[in-house]
Each structure stands twice: as C-alpha cells, then as structure tokens.
C-alpha cells in the first residue's frame, strides 16, 4: 500500500511517496489519476470504474499503518471500511466477495497497493475481519465496482453501475495525452528559485499558493507522455536532485 508525504526541498524531505505526485490536498487530489511508478513498474489509474470486475488474492493491513496518511491524503483508520487498489479511482465503492467462504462486504478505495505479486486489493483490518481473512492473512476474492463515492461518504452509492465488461487494468493507450514536467525543488524565496532555474537545463519557475502562502516551484522539461518524463526524471536525479518527481505541466 502507499503513503504520502509532502517535501519542500529547501528544508529536507520526509519519506518518499510511492506516487509521483506528493502534495497535501485536504479533499481531492487534482492529480490522483496520474500514472505512477513503484519498483520499476508503471501503473495507469483508471479514469472511471464502470463495469470493473477482478478476481485474485486479497490481503490486509492494520496497526503498523494506523494513523498514517493514505495515498489520497486521508488518515488511515484500520477500523474503517476502506482498501488499497493499484488502479481503481479513489472513492470507488467496491463489493468484495470472499470466494472461499461466501462472505462479502463493501469498501471504499482510498489508497494505492498492494504491490505484491498476484494480490489485487489490500483491505482494512475491519473489512478483512468481516470477510474472515484476518487469521489466514489472505484469501481469494472477487471485486465488483459498485460506483463512485464522495469524500467523507460512509455508505455506498445507492445506484449501481452497469456491469457490462471486465477491465482489470489500464495501459497508456487508454489514457488521453497529457503534458508532464519534472519538479526539481520548491522554495519560499523567489530569488533562490530563480537562481536554480538558471542552473537547470530548460529550467523555469512557477509560483503556487499553499495554505495561504506563496511558494516557487523549479521545473524542467515538457513531455507528452509519462514514459519520456520518467526517463528525464531519472536523469535529473542522477544530476544531484534525488527528490525530483513528475508533475502535470499545465
């Protein structure tokens, strides 16, 4: 599963996020559907969950992650009905059916993962307990997307989507073309940002507001596809900026 932490490079960085984008947004992440890379594998989040079904192995996570941030910036609560999935949109409600004992429950996706081979969903402790898989740790399950949810919603959407086809994952061909850039660093001092922007090849400075304060982002490049951005990001990291990451360029 994935956890997020915001990094201002003028003051040092916390643990790196599994996703490419890591900035604190109270409710919705505007870049939540961006591709991201974990252990050399690139994942392409789905734009919607209509018709989604999937079968595989479920696992669960509990006390070690309780109280930490999930990938959509919520605080993980192991006693809530939530789960992590690699590509389903955040706030999608999913029916999870335990194929080994027939039990079923409904969870809301608010995190990314699991990234272990063959596992398709990481359940909260409460959801795993309802499905009877806490003791064994894993179980064979079927996932059926019910519909989109809203931030803070505690019950599934009352109107199911139409299950017309099976879509396990997405690849780059499913996604609209978007522009990406590499964020090298963020400063509060515009002069420091300007100096670094002049030192970086194709560097430029973009200002943004965060919680009522103005910051200055030093970025480089403009790429029409995520794979090209990944290659350039790796080059920038090798040039002495190990925390550089990919952002939308808009």
143 beta partners = 54, 96
Kindly state whether residues 58 and 89 are assigned to the same domain. Answer: yes
Q: Which of 155, 170, 185 is the last residue of a domain?
A: 170
Kindly state whether residues 161 and 117 are assigned to the same domain. Answer: yes
Q: What is the mean pLDDT of the chain?
A: 77
Percentage of the chain beyond pLDDT 70 is: 75
What is the residue-wise DSSP string for 167-211?
Answer: -----GGGSPP--EEEEEEEESSHHHHHHHHHHSTTEEEEEEEET
Kindly state whether residues 223 and 160 are assigned to the same domain. Answer: no
CA distance 168 to 155: 24
Helix extents (H) in the chain: 125-131, 190-199, 226-238
Q: Which of 37, 52, 54, 111 lies closest to 80, judged by CA?
A: 111
State the CATH number of the domain containing residue 151.
2.40.40.10
| 56 backbone dihedrals φ, ψ, rounded to 5° | 175, -155
Q: What is the mean pLDDT of residues 150-159?
A: 42
The verdict on residue 156 lying in a domain is yes
The verdict on residue 208 lying in a domain is yes
Kindly state whether residues 114 and 197 are assigned to the same domain. Answer: no
Q: What is the mean pLDDT of residues 138-145?
A: 95
Identify which of 41-45, 124-128, 186-190, 235-239 has the greatest average pLDDT: 124-128
User: pLDDT confidence of 132, banded at 50, 70, 90?
Assistant: very high
The verdict on residue 85 lying in a domain is yes
Kindly state whether residues 73 and 119 are assigned to the same domain. Answer: yes
Mind listing the pLDDT tens digit for each residue in 234-244? 889 888 888 88
The verdict on residue 65 lying in a domain is yes
Specify the pLDDT at position 110: 92
Mind listing the pLDDT tens digit for each residue in 44-63? 888 888 889 999 999 999 88
| 126 backbone dihedrals φ, ψ, rounded to 5° | -65, -45
Specify the pLDDT at position 86: 93
The number of folded domains in the chain is 2
The verdict on residue 29 lying in a domain is no
Kindly state whether residues 164 and 194 are assigned to the same domain. Answer: no
The alpha carbon of residue 1 and the mean position of all alpha carbons in its chain are separated, in whole angstroms, by 9
Kindly state whether residues 119 and 193 are assigned to the same domain. Answer: no
The verdict on residue 33 lying in a domain is no
State the CATH number of the domain containing residue 197.
3.30.70.1070
Does pLDDT of 189 surpass 60? yes
Does pLDDT of 158 surpass 50? no
User: pLDDT confidence of 64, banded at 50, 70, 90?
Assistant: confident
Q: What is the mean pLDDT of residues 203-214?
A: 85
Kindly state whether residues 67 and 137 are assigned to the same domain. Answer: yes
User: pLDDT confidence of 29, banded at 50, 70, 90?
Assistant: low
Kindly state whether residues 160 and 236 are assigned to the same domain. Answer: no
Q: Which of 170, 205, 220 is the last residue of a domain?
A: 170
Rounded to two decimals, the pTM is 0.60
Kindly state whether residues 213 and 198 are assigned to the same domain. Answer: yes
Q: Which of 170, 186, 210 is the last residue of a domain?
A: 170
Kindly state whether residues 166 and 182 are assigned to the same domain. Answer: no
The verdict on residue 6 lying in a domain is no
Does pLDDT of 103 surpass 70? yes
Kindly state whether residues 137 and 77 are assigned to the same domain. Answer: yes
Specify the pLDDT at position 17: 33
Instruction: Give the list of residues 6+ apart from residue 89 with CB closer than 8 angstroms, or none.
Output: 32, 33, 45, 46, 47, 48, 49, 109, 148
Torsion angle of the four alpha carbons 109, 110, 113, 114, in this order, in degrees rounded to the nearest 10? -60
User: pLDDT confidence of 121, banded at 50, 70, 90?
Assistant: very high
- Residue 109 lies in domain: 44-170
CB environment 163-182: b (16+ within 10 A), e (fewer) = eeeebeebeeeebeebebbb
The verdict on residue 125 lying in a domain is yes
CA distance 181 to 198: 16
CB environment 224-240: b (16+ within 10 A), e (fewer) = eebeebbebbeebeeee
């Amino acid at each position: 599963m994935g956890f997020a932490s915001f990094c201002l490079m003028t003051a040092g960085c916390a643990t790196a996020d599994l996703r490419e984008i890591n900035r604190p947004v109270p409710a919705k992440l505007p870049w939540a559907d961006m591709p991201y890379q974990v252990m050399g594998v690139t994942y392409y989040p789905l734009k919607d969950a209509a018709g989604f079904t999937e079968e595989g192995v479920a696992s669960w996570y509990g006390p070690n992650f309780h109280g930490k941030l999930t990938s959509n910036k919520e605080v993980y609560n192991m006693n809530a009905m939530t789960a992590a999935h690699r590509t389903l949109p955040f706030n999608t409600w999913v029916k999870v059916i335990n194929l080994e004992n027939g039990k079923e429950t409904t969870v809301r996706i608010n995190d990314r993962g699991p990234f272990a081979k063959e596992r398709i969903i990481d359940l909260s402790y409460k959801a795993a307990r309802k499905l009877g898989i806490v003791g064994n740790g894993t179980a064979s399950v079927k996932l059926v997307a019910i519909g989109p949810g809203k931030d803070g919603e505690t019950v599934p959407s009352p109107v199911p989507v139409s299950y017309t086809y099976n879509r396990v994952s997405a690849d780059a061909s499913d996604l609209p073309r978007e522009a990406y850039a590499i964020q090298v660093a963020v400063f509060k001092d515009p002069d420091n940002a300007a100096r670094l922007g002049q030192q970086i090849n194709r560097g430029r400075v973009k200002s943004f507001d965060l919680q009522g304060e103005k910051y200055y982002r030093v970025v480089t490049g403009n790429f029409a596809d995520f794979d090209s951005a990944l290659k350039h990001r790796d080059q920038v990291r090798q040039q002495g900026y190990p925390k550089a990451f990919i952002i939308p360029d808009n």
